[in-house]
Each structure stands twice: as C-alpha cells, then as structure tokens.
Amino acid sequence: MKISARNVLKGTIVEVTKGATTSHVKIDVNGAIVTASITNEAVDSLKLEKGKNAYAVVKASDVMVAVD
Amino acid sequence: MKISARNVLKGTIVEVTKGATTSHVKIDVNGAIVTASITNEAVDSLKLEKGKNAYAVVKASDVMVAVD
Amino acid sequence: MKISARNVLKGTIVEVTKGATTSHVKIDVNGAIVTASITNEAVDSLKLEKGKNAYAVVKASDVMVAVD
Amino acid sequence: MKISARNVLKGTIVEVTKGATTSHVKIDVNGAIVTASITNEAVDSLKLEKGKNAYAVVKASDVMVAVD
Amino acid sequence: MKISARNVLKGTIVEVTKGATTSHVKIDVNGAIVTASITNEAVDSLKLEKGKNAYAVVKASDVMVAVD
Amino acid sequence: MKISARNVLKGTIVEVTKGATTSHVKIDVNGAIVTASITNEAVDSLKLEKGKNAYAVVKASDVMVAVD
C-alpha cells in the first residue's frame, strides 16, 4: 500500500505504553524520538513492540514549523 | 514558549513552495526530509526560507505508525 | 505496508481537482463520497486519477461523531 | 448547524468503548466500519450508544489517499 | 446537528480569502481572531462571508497547550 | 520559539483531568472554555495546573467553520 502522507520516517520502536484505550509508541528515527498516540487496537493489530522496525507516518497538513 | 506537542524536530529548511494560500515547507531533520503544509501567512510571519534553521512540530495524536 | 490508522475505506476515485499546491480527491466508498485534501505532490506520486481504485485513510482521532 | 467538514457520513453506532478519558465509537456506514476516538465527555453529552443513528464527520484535510 | 467536537466557539466572520482550492476564514471570537483553513467548496456551500455569524469548531485532540 | 500555527489563544487553565495516558486540559480564553486533549507526559513536562496562564494553540487546518 502506498499512502499520500508525505512523511514516512523509518525507525525502530523504543517504547510502547498502553493506556485504557490509547497507547503511546516512541520510534527512534535517525536518533530523533518521534512519539505517536494511537489506539490500543492498532498496537495489537500491528503487533507493535520494542525493537521492531516501524515507520512514523504524518500527513503534511499536520506538520507545523517553528523557529527560535 | 514551550508547547505540549511531543515532537519538535530540529532541522534546516531546504525548500519553500508558495501556493495561492497554502505553502509547502521541507525541512531536513537528520537526513530525513519532513514536509509541512502551512499557510502562506505563517511563512511570511516567521520569515521561513531555504537555509534557515527550523523545527518540524507535530502533535503525538497526528502521528501514525506503519510496519512492512 | 500496514498502517495504524483504523479507517481504511476502499473505493474508486471519482474526481481529482488540482489547485496551486493542494488537490481535492473524491472517492466513492460504497456510494458515500469521501473528500480528501492532499498535496499535489502526493497526487502525482501515487498517479491518482478518476476511475482508479483507492482507499480513503483516516486516523481514528480525526473522526468526530454527530447526531441529529 | 451546518459544518464546513466535507465528510458527514450517515450510519449506526455499533460499539462504544469507554477508556479513562478517551472513548472509541464504531459507526457502520453502508457496511464499512468507521472508528472515532473522542472524549468520554462527548459520548455522555451526545448520549452515544449502540444502535443509535449517528454521523461520522471528518475534515477533508484529515483524509489521506492510499493505493495498492 | 450536535457534534462531538468539544470546542464550538461563537463569533463573527471578519475575512474570507479564497485560494485555488483552499480558503482562509477569520472569525472574531470575543476579540480573539481564529483562523480556519477550509475548502473553497465549504465556503460556497455554507455561504460564508464577512459579517456573518459563525462558529469556529475544533476537536479537542487538535488543541495543543503552550506556556511562556 | 515562534510557531506557524495561526491560532495562539491566551488564557488561564481552569481544569486538568488526567487519564491513563491522555489528559484533558480546559483553558478559559476571554470567557470561552477551550478543551485540549494532550498526553499526560506533556502535562507533566509543562507543569500544567489549574490557575496557570497558558495558550491554546491550534493549526488553521484543524479549524472548521459552522453556521446555524
């Protein structure tokens, strides 16, 4: 499957924290840690766990830009 | 200003493309290119241009995870 | 690629309208028309055009619920 | 109230799962299941429950497109 | 129609700027200007124009918090 | 830090509700209550608590418009 989202960043899962319905997944992308907040259901369905290769995927319209 | 968004990725702007109302800004973050779709107004207000240091900022709830 | 987004709705593209930087793509999903606003770049990269099969993909946290 | 969101999909609620602060609501739209992640507060305020008619509402800029 | 979005802020439209496919609509909410980036199609469909009463609607998961 | 998000609304935190992984923060902005759904981690990192001044920050592409 190819997706229109412009940002598909390859990395490795370093942490999965499950809540009541929402999980937080941290992915190491070239040394930068990217945090995703997704459903527990997705974590189970994709069998996400620490050490697994994964992509952080972000639609361009969800990216902001900041400067110092 | 400190923001609640969990993802604040430092990089350098490599391209700014202005449209009629919406601009696309590409930021090189540790070798990964992150594309942001923001208002022209924001580009002008922050004086975003090629070569400038900038952060790609993404709320954790806007990050998805994908696996091969 | 498998994605964490809980909504992956299969359909057929019925319209692609390109703007200066942003395109609108309409997908017929079981008779319901779903409109996506994505970058022109994504339209080109995925070769999206009328008549092509495609999925409308939406993260669960981007879906609201309304009642009459 | 009329809303600018381009996607207002009519269906029936088939499941409501409450978490600590976040609920997941599944809506059957013409046979496709759409999952929404919304606040518990909204579930209570709109009295969302299984069997009730409801709309899944999505802003066009939150819809991605994927192809096989 | 009642919507799950927790933020429905009443105000008055002070500016509508149309682009090729995307419009920017500014709403004065109790003296604070809220900017919405929506489709031209929505602007036409809702007949949005300067001086008209309108609500800025935002899902809670799309609101960030910042401190000085 | 200056951010591209067009909506940075100054107010005072009136309520913080923590869940398992997700918190809800309510900010009084000129008398209008704005609700943010953010990670517990962000609440801790920014030391958000009732009575503290804070900004509700929203990207323009996440704002919808509604009319009666």
Q: What is the pLDDT, as a whole number, of residue D53?
A: 98
Q: Which of A59, A65, A67, A68 should be substituted to probe chain B, the one whose Cβ sees the most B Cβ atoms within 10 Å? A: A65
Residue C59 confidence class, pLDDT cut points 50, 70, 90: very high
For testing contact with chain F, the best of E4, E47, E64, E67 (most F CBs within 10 A):
E64
Enumerate the H helices of A1-68 as residue ranges: 40-45
CA dihedral in degrees (C3, A16, B28, B35; nearest 10)?
A: 40
Average pLDDT of span B5-13: 97
Give this complex's ipTM.
0.97
What is the arithmetic mean of pLDDT over D41-53?
A: 98
| Cβ proximity of F57 and B2 under 8 Å | no
Distance in angstroms (rounded) separating the CA atoms of residues C22 and C26? 13
Average pLDDT over residues D28-34: 94
Report the residue of chain F nearest A35, measured CA to CA: F39
Question: What is the least distance, in Å, from the CA of A33 to any CA of chain D?
Answer: 24
Which residues lie below 8 Å from residue C46, measured CB to CB, with a gap of 6+?
A2, A4, C54, D65, D66, D67
Cβ-count burial of C44 within 10 angstroms (0-12 exposed, 13-18 middle, 19+ buried)?
A: exposed
Q: Report the amino acid identity of residue F10.
A: K
What class, spelled out in words, does domain C7-58 have in CATH? mainly beta
CB pairs under 8 A between D and E: 47
pLDDT at position F15 is 98
CATH code at E7-59: 2.40.50.100
**pLDDT > 90 in chain D, percent:** 99
* Assigned CATH topology for domain B1-49: OB fold (Dihydrolipoamide Acetyltransferase, E2P) (2.40.50)
Structural tokens at position A59: 């639609």
Exposure letters A35-60 (e unless 16+ CB within 10 A, then b) = bbbbbbbbbeebebeeeeebbbbbbb
pTM confidence score? 0.97
Read off the tokens for F35: 């609700």
Q: What is the mean pLDDT of residues C46-68?
A: 98
